[in-house]
Amino acid sequence: MYKYKTIKSLRNKIKDVKSKGKTVGFVPTMGALHEGHLSLIRRAKKETDFVVVSIFVNPIQFCPGEDLKKYPVNLNKDLKLCGLNGADVVFCPDAKVMFGNNFFTYVDVRNITEGLCGASRPGHFRGVATIVAKLFNITAPDKAYFGRKDAQQAAVIRKMSEDLNIPVKINVMPIVREKDGLAMSSRNVYLSPEERKKALCLYGALKTAKEFRAKGEADPKNIIAAMRKIILREKGAEIEYVSIVDKETLKSVKRISGKVMAAAAVRIGAVRLIDNVII
Ligand code: AMP
């Protein structure tokens, strides 16, 4: 496995790979890798000839007051995991390489960024769309892999690629969970043992949404009320949002028919967790 820190070196390698007629799969990450990330790498390995993983803690997707400085970093462990799971190249540039001294250009995907996480994280998706557009331009992947855990992010990237005519196939993969249901996240390491137990209320709420829907409930208000109750039963859990939205538009639905997404963001102490389920 190769490790590249500069854009030029990665581009040269990819040019060489493509000249041999090979397809490139791309998995963008912020590192602190867990099974969720690794599932994307393994999938990319199955579906493409040459797998590039990027590890870059993207400063422009953190909002003021968020945890950029504290974000977990463990590059050596990540490199090992990438190699073991089928990555051919890890691209790990620093911020200077990605943004230089003067950076003036941003990608702003509208509409689908207004609700859910976009409502409480102003500028977050602009930062995500901008860095992924740059990484797509650098890597020129045939296919790119994202997790459904960040469903709004995946929708933003899909729309950006469509609107900007970036020739990449976006694949969105299932959420990988711990045995007890908590969605894997790099931020889970911040949870104290007590908070880790409390964090299960998020998955509990999503399971309840599923159960309500299975019994035929079609009024999102009733499902949301039940979900909120489960979360708020946990002392110290704070709700940022609990929503039932259309899978494509990410807009709240007034009545459920067909499959929709139940999504929630919850704070457990200082840790912000998101999760969703299709019901
Ligand atoms: P991050 O490093 O948090 O920016 O995540 C990089 C990619 O991994 C994104 O596409 C995430 O959606 C995906 N991802 C993170 N956690 C999970 C998970 N538990 N299951 C599946 N994909 C995940």
* Each residue's pLDDT tens digit, 154-167: 999 999 999 999 99
From 37, 121, 149, 213, active-site residue:
37
C-alpha 79 to ligand 1 mean position (Å):
16
| CB of 185 closer than 6 angstroms to any ligand 1 atom | yes
- Would you say 139 and 89 are in contact if contact means Cβ atoms under 8 Å apart? no
User: If you take atom 5 of ligand 1, which residue's CA is the nearest one?
Assistant: 29
What's the mean pLDDT in 33-58?
98
User: CB of 184 within 8 A of CB of 35?
Assistant: yes
In order of 204, 223, 245, the CA distances from 218 in angstroms are 19, 8, 13
Ramachandran angles phi, psi of 146, nearest 5°: -130, 160
Can you tell me the distance from the alpha carbon of 1 to that of 191, in angstroms, rounded to the nearest whole number? 33
Average pLDDT for 133-161: 98
Which two tokens mark 32? 């602190």
At residue 269, the pLDDT reads 95
Helices (H), the chain: 7-19, 35-47, 75-84, 95-99, 116-120, 124-139, 151-163, 193-198, 200-214, 220-232
Helix axes of 35-47 and 75-84: crossing angle, nearest 10 degrees = 40
124-139 and 151-163 helices, crossing angle to 10°: 60
Q: Report helix, strand or coil for 5.
A: coil
- For residue 251, report the distance from its CA to the centre of ligand 1, in Å: 22
Q: What is the largest CA-CA distance in the chain?
A: 58
State the average pLDDT over residues 97-119.
97
This prediction's pTM: 0.98
Look over the chain and give the mean of its residue pLDDT values, rounded to a whole number. Answer: 97
Tally the C-alpha atoms within 13 A of residue 122's C-alpha that lie toward its C-beta: 2
- Residue nearest ligand 1's atom 11 by CA: 147
What is the per-residue pLDDT for 89?
98
Ligand 1 within 6 A of 25 CB?
no
- Contact present, 234 and 201 (Cβ < 8 Å): yes
Instruction: Give the residue, out of 146, 149, 152, 184, with the most ligand 1 atoms within 8 A of its beta carbon, to mutate for a pocket test.
Output: 149
Please, which pLDDT band fits residue 204 given cuts at 50, 70 and 90? Answer: very high
pLDDT category at 67 given cuts 50, 70, 90 is: confident
- DSSP code at position 164: T
> What residue owns the CA closest to ligand 1's atom 22?
147
pLDDT at position 5: 98
* Torsion angle (degrees, nearest 10) of CA 198, 32, 70, 5: -160
As a whole number, mean pLDDT of residues 79-100 equals 98
Closest CA to 52 of 21, 20, 19, 11: 11
Q: 51 pairs with which residues across the strands?
A: 25
| Active-site residue flag, 34 | no
Residue with the nearest Cα to atom 18 of ligand 1? 36
Distance of alpha carbon 148 from alpha carbon 140, whole angstroms: 22
pLDDT of residue 235: 95
